């Protein structure tokens, strides 16, 4: 019957959303959240993950360019040091409305269309 199909579709959608929410929770655990005392939204999590991946990509590119003479910990400190933390922590206070923008990692994320 139609009611049974609707119940089955609702159950599938609930499982799909639970899986999606679990994936976002796992992503939030591995993406830095300096100075954040609230849970990042899904959009913020994706923007932060993108910025973090771009920063890690730059670290790897520098490591290749400078070879083994550079110390990995100094590369890490240069890219994720105090200045980046302060830029992240103060971004919302400066009123630009986008706390994960270019000031954080020097990367301008592409705008993602938001489905409504």
Query: For 55-107, how does the pLDDT look when each residue is reduced to its tens digit (9 = 90+)?
Result: 999 988 888 877 765 555 555 555 555 455 444 444 443 444 444 444 444 44
Phi then psi dihedrals of residue 43, to 5 deg: -60, -45
Any residues with CB less than 8 A from the CB of 106 and at least 6 apart, and which?
Answer: 55, 58
> pLDDT tens digits for 21-34?
999 999 999 998 87
The single residue listed with the structure tokens 């591995």 is 30
Cβ neighbors of 42 (< 8 A, separation 6 or more) are: 24
Reported in sequence order, the residue ranges of 1-116 that DSSP labels E, i.e. its strands, are none
pTM: 0.56
């Amino acid at each position: 019957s139609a009611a049974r199909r609707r119940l089955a579709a609702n159950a599938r959608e609930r499982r799909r959303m639970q899986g999606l929410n679990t994936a976002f929770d796992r992503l939030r655990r591995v993406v830095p959240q300096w100075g954040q005392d609230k849970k990042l939204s899904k959009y913020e999590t994706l923007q932060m993950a993108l910025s973090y991946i771009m920063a890690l990509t730059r670290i790897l590119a520098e490591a290749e360019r400078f070879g083994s003479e550079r110390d990995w910990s100094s590369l890490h400190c240069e890219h994720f040091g105090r200045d980046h933390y302060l830029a992240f922590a103060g971004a919302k206070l400066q009123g630009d409305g986008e706390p994960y923008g270019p000031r954080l990692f020097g990367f301008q994320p592409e705008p993602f269309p938001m489905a409504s």
